[in-house]
Structure formats: structure tokens, C-alpha cells
Amino acid sequence: MPITVGHDSSNTRKTLKVGDTSVAYYSIAAAEQAGLGDFSKLPAALKVVLENMLRFEDGKTVTTDDIKAFSDWAKEGGKGTKELAYRPARVLMQDFTGVPAVVDLAAMRDGIKELGGDAQKINPLNPVDLVIDHSVMIDEFGNPRAFQMNVDREYERNMERYQFLKWGQGAFNNFRVVPPGTGICHQVNLEYLAQTVWTDKDQNGETVAYPDTLVGTDSHTTMVNGAAVLGWGVGGIEAEAAMLGQPISMLIPEVVGFELSGKMVEGTTGTDLVLKVVEMLREKGVVGKFVEFYGDGLDTLPLADRATIANMAPEYGATCGFFPIDDETLRYLRQTGRDEDRIALVEAYAKENGFWRGSDYNPVYTDTLHLDMGTIVPAISGPKRPQDYIALDKAATAFHAYVKGIREGKDAGAETEARWEGEGGAPEPRDIPGNEGHHRMGFYTDEDGNSHQLHDGSVVIASITSCTNTSNPYVMIGAGLVARKAHELGLTRKPWVKTSLAPGSQVVSHYLEAAELQDDLDAIGFNLVGYGCTTCIGNSGPLAEPISKAINDCDLIGVSVLSGNRNFEGRISPDVRANYLASPPLVVAYALVGDMNVDIANDPLGQDKDGNDVYLKDIWPSQSEIAELVEQTVTREAFQSKYADVFKGDEKWQQVETSDAETYDWPPQSTYVQNPPYFQGMSKDPGTISNIENARVLALLGDMVTTDHISPAGSFKETTPAGEYLRERQVPVREFNSYGSRRGNHEVMMRGTFANIRIKNEMLDGVEGGYTKGPDGKQTSIYDAAMAYQEQGTPLVIFGGEQYGAGSSRDWAAKGTALLGVKAVIAENFERIHRSNLVGMGVIPFEFTGGDTRKTLNLTGEEEVSIHGLDDIKPQAEVPCTIKYADGTTKEITLKCRIDTAIEIEYVEHGGVLHYVLRNLAQEPMAAE
């Protein structure tokens, strides 16, 4: 499908000669010469968006005023309010978010036929790559069989989904699937799919070069910004619209400059750096903003470390964390096997069009902050937010304080008293200096009959996983060297620690084996368990039953340590309450000691074969050791070999059978894939936005309610509404899989909305989980209450606090909200992606004004809520809201409507962005036979 460019009224299209080849490009310098403004001081990240405007300028969707706004932005010190229609070059998906997106496309084909349109109109116009990486679960670990057994179980559990995705690959144009067992989407994107500068034919058949850009249905799409590819996460709803040719509506963003100086010191890793960056930027406040990294520190910062920082942009709240093109970008492209002609094009284009970071790079930023990398120390973050940075030598003390807070009832999730059903009733608290008698303990017996003590702080999961760190050979080789030195001294993991290694690509296994480090990792339990997200997405798999029982019977605070990017409550494992993010070498170290109470920076990790104490410094590799092995084993040939047949898959994938029909034949018995109700019975014309009258409160929620709280991805029990639904359809508990794997079935996902085991509805006193009060005032599940209100025709609202919707981009957090009958979400503020997703599903986000909060208003959830002024709403308008309390009194407040742009108003009028796109496509003439 050729790219359709604008009509170039300003004559900015020029020709670039690279070697013997000439390509067209859209020149920022030519735009300046045409009198459109001065763009010389724009940050590189914003120049990417400017180039997009130049290429698609058509006098309608994109005008010269849009282009001039970038010059005004620079003159005004990095401020602007212009609404833009931005078109990314491509779309990236993973299977948890990709399956529901393909389900929606399949449903849209049915819907457009019902409206008398052409099913072939529902086809991606831009390239779409879906990488299956979220499905593998760690059932087996710590032995040579783990990888194959987990893969076999993955296919058993997910065959319906894989058949559906294979159908989509054949049915839709511009849609490719990377099979299971290949790697994590962001790492595959960074190492293979991304080109930094993209090329394509335009509608006239001429080759055009332009910046590689994308949106992805996973929030960590931002990782590729480390390679100067502008990309960020969107919900599947917004991604589907982009696939179908709908531009992404965005305001010209502020760009915060983050200056890095100095260089990393001995004993520190890129993970330590990124955890400090996350803490600093969260404190700064960068939600909805671009962050661009600059400064002479970049001269010594490998692209792998840049990608680690870029990956965690959702954790610091930014739209993206961008690194401009420089010599290190070219080195990485060459090392990872990109074509030499492409590398030459990247360099020539970047220097010609003003994207190159040279010694004179000095753009204007909205705001700046600075970090000397020489001050970085080893660190972890936790126990439940990525921004909760802890220097490693303070980690044990911080954990003691966390436990004390829980045991004294200061943590909102700690109201439950322990149920000492184990050996001998309640034992005395452990004698740990400074714990002040707050730690609890219990016991379990392993399969060999040995008894082991567990206590608050026992590390029961240690997982090297996630795109964030497994994409970085410096920390992965570092982890292997820690394992080697530990193994040589006779140390191994503690028996209660579930250890796993889940690389983000097969290249990682190649260089670990080439360096002869995989044997050492195997020796202490870090066997390969699969290529995928695993623990980071909540697919950690079950703990051994005796360990799980001891934790739950004794109400112990179990701990996980993972090299991931997310550690939200209830995400990693239902048996684990405290979750810590750490570098892969530190994950190995915590597996060896098995206890968060140990100060691993200073205390012994254990004893060697001769009984001598072994300290972290004894097994920590030097930077020169790591660099030497990286140089020897991380080769261009390895990347070229492992990605040669990236779309082919293994024998299991090749044997997956599916149909080649234009529309999907929805199997009625499927519990994985069902035709969603969004487009059934849809009229040809949109409606209007109505005022909300006498809505009831479905949930009253606090601060930092994440999309994991709203729509969990992990496992669920048979007693939940989703579990009961599956049991009614004769699905055994062993086959439940996870919420994430069942996102193609709206019936499961509706029942899983607001069903996180750690969510706290303030309408109920001291209750965790997906519960609320129904119309009769009695406690019930949120799903059952919502259905009861729907039967009465009663609209619903949700109240929240700060950073509502933080975390993953998952569209089901908005889809589920909409299907439960929620018309509005009222919070103190919203994270970017979830706000957009709510609008995309026709749910209106509102923010409190004037210092009002759920607390100042003394809300209990018994109120009725009416919101007016919506029938002629304007973007970001303030509207009146009447709150009627249970005693009959009322209070008038003002809310800010977070429908941010004019096109978003149209989306809500249509009932959602996909309804808007579908109606427009249905009105286009049928394609000729």
C-alpha cells in the first residue's frame, strides 16, 4: 500500500542522494526558506512531528498554520496549544492487546456489511506487526525441560487465539504476525523491525525517505525511541483507527530536556540509571509531554542503556523519552544487522534534515533537568511503584519500614489479621534488628520432606524477564557473570525462590551460550523458560502449593524481584505483596540470598565451599569483564541469523490451521474469541452527547489506580465472576489461563473489569478486590452490581484520585468500563493513554476543579450525580455537576471535561472512535470488482 503524501504547496519536497541512490524527502530547511518559520532550535523529537506535517500538508487535515505553529512553539519557549493530525508510519502490537484489536477489525467487517458497505474497506492502510509474546506462562522452571514444557502448554492454552491470529494474517492486508517463541515485541522492534529512517513509495510511485515512527498497543512501545524512532503506546482502539487511516489527534507537546553528563561508574548498571531517571521525572511531572535526552553523557551511553531509559517512559509518565540520531545510533544499527545502505541513508538523512546530534546540538526545551551519571549508585525500586527508588544499601531498612506500616494498619491493603493455621499457632516475630517485632513467619515442607521457614520478606520469585533489561547485553552478560562467580564459589538459589530466565529475543540466548554463561545460570536455577514477557506481565505461573499455602495461611508478605518495568499491586503474583524492580545481576543476587531483609550491599550473601562469607562485591563483575564478553559474543552475524526467518515460526506454528474467509466465522463455543457487541445494530447516523442524569457511583477509588487495577492481566479464581462464567461452560480451572489471554472474549473481560485482587473501593470498609454496593445497598461484585443497574436503566460514574489510569495501555480498561454502563469517570487527573482510551469508547473523563476531591466532597458512594452542559460541549470546557447526597442535600461543583480536541467530540457523538471510522468507511463507494 503506497503512502499518500500531501500536495506540497510550500515546495518542501527535495531530493537526497545517498551513494548511487536518490530519494525524495521533505526538507525542514526548505520550509524555513518558504517563510513558514524558524525551526532551527526545535528538539529533534519535535522535528519528527514537524516533518510529518510537511509530508501530509493538504490544506485540510494539515495546513500551513499547523507547520507555522512549530516556529511559534520555539519562540514561546517550548509552549504551544495547536491541535495536530499526526500519522505514524506503522503500528506495533502484542497478542494481549492485539487479539482484541483484530477482534474489533473482524467485527467491523461484519458491521460494515450490515451498513451496506464493503468489507474490504476494513484493512490496515499502514504496516502492522503483531508479535506474540504475552502468552507464555512459567509453569515449569529450574530444569532443562522448562522451555519446551512451557511452550507446549502455551499452545494447548492458546490454540483458539492463534488460529484467529493466523486467520487475520491471511484476511487483512499489511498485517504480519511474529509467532510465539521469537521474542518480546519491543525487543524485536528495536533489534529488527525499526529502521530509524523509513522509505516507501508514494502515490506517484516515487521513493520517499522519512523518519521511522509508530504507535503501539503496548505502553512500552517507547523503547524504540532509544534508536531515535518516535513511538509511544496507545490503546488498541486508537491503534485500530490509525491502522484504518485515521490520523492521531494530538496537541503540540511540551518537550522536557533531560541533560545527562559524566559517565557510569564501576559497579553500576543501566538499570540503576533508569530507576533514578524514573524517580526524577515522576517528581518533575511530565505526563503528556515528550522527554528528550541530551548532553555529553550520551557520548558514553550505549544504545542498549538508552533503550532501557526510553522503555520506561510510561513509568515516568511521559509520552516518550527520545534520543536523537548520532554515531551510537549508527553503530547499533550496524551491530544488529541492518543493511549498510539503510545505515548510510540514516546518516545522510539525519545530517541533511537537521536530526543529527552533533557537538553543537542545543535546542530550545520547555523545561530542563540534569543528572550526573557519575552519581548513580546500585538501586532497586518498590514495593509497588516503579518510581519508588531505593538505593541498594537502604533496601532492607526500607522493607522493614514497609512491613511495619502494614502490620500497624497504615497500609490500606493490610487490614486482614493473620490466620495462623500452621505449625504451633502464631510464632514470635523474627529477631531482625530494627524490625520492632513486626515480621511474621511460617513454615512449609518441600517434596523431599525438608521443612523450611518463610517470613515477611522471603523472596519467592526472582525473574530475569522483560524487554526493559533483557534487550541490554551489558546487564544480561553481567547477570551471567554473577551466576558464574556464585556457582564457582558453591552458592545457589534458596529452595523457596522460583527462578526464571525469559529473554526478549533469541539473540540473547545466542550470546549467553557463546559466552558459556548459560550453563552457570542453569546451575543456580535460571534456566530458559520461554521468550516472552512472563513475570513482568503477571505470567509468573503458580508457586509451589506448600509455599503458596504457607504465605496465605500465615498472611506473609512474600517478595518478588524482577528485571521488569512494572511492579504494581496484584500484578506479578497473587501470592506476592511486595514487588521490586532490579537489574538482572541483582535479581541473581537476591535469588542467592532469598530474603529482602538482608542488606545485600553490605551483608554476606552466604558462605562458600570452605565456609567463608561471600559478599556481593566478591561476585560482581567489572565493567571491563562485561565489555570484553559483549564485544566477543554480541555480533552482527548473530542478529542476522536469528532474524532470518522471524515470521516463519516453529513447527507448531506452521501446523496451526485456520480458514481463509473474508469475514470471521465466530465459533459459538469459543471462550477465547467472541463477536463483541460494539457494532451490532448500529445506525448509519451518529447520535448526540447527552447530559448525565441521576447516575449512581459504581466505585470510589483512590490515587494511582492503574490500568492493572481496572483490567488485570493475570490469573483469576473460580469464585470470581469470570471464573464462574468459564465454569458454567465446563472450562476446568487448570485451563482458565489469564485475563490477558482472554481479551478476545468480552464476556470474560467485562467480568474482570475492576476485579484486581488489590483494588480498594472506598465505598466498602477494609475490603480488597472487585466489590461494591448494588442497588439494594448490599455488597456484591462490581460486575453483578453494574448488570443490576443496567436492568434498571441507571447510568453509572466512577470517582478516582490522582494519576487515574496509570500504567499499561490496555484498551480493555476503557472497554470494560464502557460495557459496565459507566458514562463518566471523574478524577483529579488522568494518565495520557487511559484518558484517550476512555474517549475512544465514548466514556467521558472529567477532572475536579477548584481544589475539590472525592475527600473534600465527603463522598461515600451513596450519592447521585448529574452532569449538564454536555449537549453543546467544547474541548476542555468546564461544566456544572450536581451531587445529591444520601440525606437529600445537594452540592454544585464544576468539572473540567477532558474531551481535549474537536475530533474527540465527534468520537463521543458516534459512541467511540471505531464507530466514527466505521460509519465514514461505510459511506465510501464500493470497490470495483
878: confidence class by pLDDT, cuts 50, 70, 90? very high
- The answer to whether 479 and 588 have CB atoms below 8 angstroms apart is yes
Are 325 and 298 spatial neighbours (Cβ–Cβ below 8 Å)? no
| pLDDT for res 242 | 87
| pLDDT per residue as tens digits for the range 134-166 | 777 788 888 999 989 888 888 888 888 899 999
Asked whether the beta carbons of 108 and 122 are under 8 A apart, the reply is yes
How is residue 363 written as a grid cell? 535546542
Residue 10, C-beta contacts closer than 8 angstroms, at least 6 positions apart: 30, 31, 34, 36, 54, 57, 64, 67
What is the dihedral angle through the alpha carbons of 391, 392, 393, 395, rounded to the nearest 10 degrees?
90
Cell representation of residue 530: 520461554
Lowest mean pLDDT among 28-32, 463-467, 608-612, 779-783: 463-467
- Tens digit of pLDDT for each residue in 402-455? 998 888 875 433 322 332 233 333 334 444 444 445 688 889 998 889 999 999
Q: What angle do CA 569, 575, 580 make, to 5 degrees?
A: 50
In angstroms, the CA 51 to CA 25 distance is: 9
pLDDT at residue 427, rounded to an integer? 39
What's the pLDDT band for 929 if we cut at 50, 70, 90? very low
What domains can be seen in the chain, in order of their start residue?
90-375 (3.30.499.10), 379-422+440-638 (3.30.499.10), 692-709+781-921 (3.20.19.10)
CA distance 479 to 482: 5
For 556-592, how does the pLDDT look when each residue is reduced to its tens digit (9 = 90+)?
Answer: 999 999 988 777 777 888 899 999 999 999 999 999 9
Q: Which residue has the higher pLDDT, 49 or 716?
A: 49
CA–CA separation, 883 vs 718, rounded Å?
38
The one-letter amino acid at 616:
L
DSSP 8-state symbol, 429? P
Are 723 and 770 a contacting pair, CB within 8 Å? no
Q: Which pLDDT score, from 0 to 100, does residue 542 have? A: 83
**What is the rounded CA–CA span in Å between residue 813 and residue 752?**
10
- Coil/strand/helix, residue 833: helix
Is the pLDDT at 332 greater than 50? The verdict is yes
Question: What backbone phi and psi angles, to 5 degrees, belong to 590?
Answer: -70, -30
Q: Report the mean per-residue pLDDT for the chain.
A: 90
Q: Taking Cα atoms as reference points, which of 502, 526, 503 lies closest to residue 589?
A: 526
Q: How far is CA 630 from the centre of its chain?
A: 28
CA distance 566 to 131: 20
Q: How many residues does the chain have?
A: 929
CB within 8 Å of 494: residues ≥ 6 apart: 459, 591, 592, 593, 594, 595
User: At residue 499, does pLDDT exceed 80?
Assistant: yes
Phi-psi region of 181 (alpha: psi -120 to 50; beta: other; left: phi over 0): left
Rounded to two decimals, what is the model's pTM? 0.84
Asked if 430 and 532 count as a contact pair (C-beta separation under 8 A), the reply is: no
585, 575 in Cβ contact below 8 A?
Answer: no
Kindly report which listed range (48-62, 122-136, 207-221) carries the lowest average pLDDT score.
122-136
Share of the chain above pLDDT 90, in %: 69
263 pLDDT tier (thresholds 50, 70, 90): very high
Report helix, strand or coil for 355. coil
Q: Say if residue 778's pLDDT is above 70.
A: yes
According to DSSP, the β-strands at 290-294 and 255-261 are parallel
